[in-house]
Amino acid sequence: MKLKDLPQPIRELAEKRIREQGNEPNEEILLDYGISDGGFWWRATEEGESFWTEIDDGNFDVFYQLNPVEYITKKLDQLDSSDLAKVVEYIEEKIKKYKQDNGILTTDYLMSIHPSLSINEAKSLLDFCNKNTIYHVQCYGEGSIMLPLWKEYIDRFKNRGNSVMP
């Protein structure tokens, strides 16, 4: 593959590696040219030979797995649907990690503490906790107090729905 055919962030990395090894980038150069031909030695880079072999074969995912933030820096209209899916996945992971690191109570956390809960039950329990001003994992603890209260609340609500209201 020629240097000019690489996506911009990958081309920039290849050009950086070429310069580091004492050559000047040339858009027409084949990526697999060695240092004596104006390229660079793949195994002498931080990424290693297998990384550059994948890139030369057209598998750019290896770059984005190492550098997921590069997806964010592209313009949205340059992203194809698989890129967009990876951006969404990356952002969701960051948000999930942020919430966990900051101790914010989430349905994921509730389901990890109480594996028997369905997603709808976890949402309902989260709503119950939030109504009772419990927003943080530390306030919820292991949930031994809140879970029975929530179930009792749900049972009362169901029973109220079945009885005739005056």
Window from 72-76, 112-116, 126-130 with minimum mean pLDDT: 72-76
Q: What is the helix, strand, coil percentage profile of the chain, to 5? A: 65, 0, 35
Q: Is residue 92 part of a domain?
A: no
Same structural domain for residues 117 and 61? no
Number of domains in the chain: 2
Q: Is residue 13 part of a domain?
A: yes
Q: What per-residue confidence (pLDDT) applies to 20?
A: 92
Q: Is-contact 42 53, C-beta < 8 A? A: yes
Q: What per-residue confidence (pLDDT) applies to 166?
A: 38
Q: Is the pLDDT of residue 144 over 70?
A: yes
Shortest CA distance to 140 belongs to which of 37, 152, 149, 43?
149
Q: Where in the sequence is the domain holding 123, given as residue range(s)? A: 107-162
Q: Which amino acid is at 30?
A: L
Percent of the chain with pLDDT over 90: 14
Q: How confident is the model at residue 15 (pLDDT cuts 50, 70, 90)?
A: very high
CA distance 114 to 135: 17
Provide the token pair at 87: 């951006």
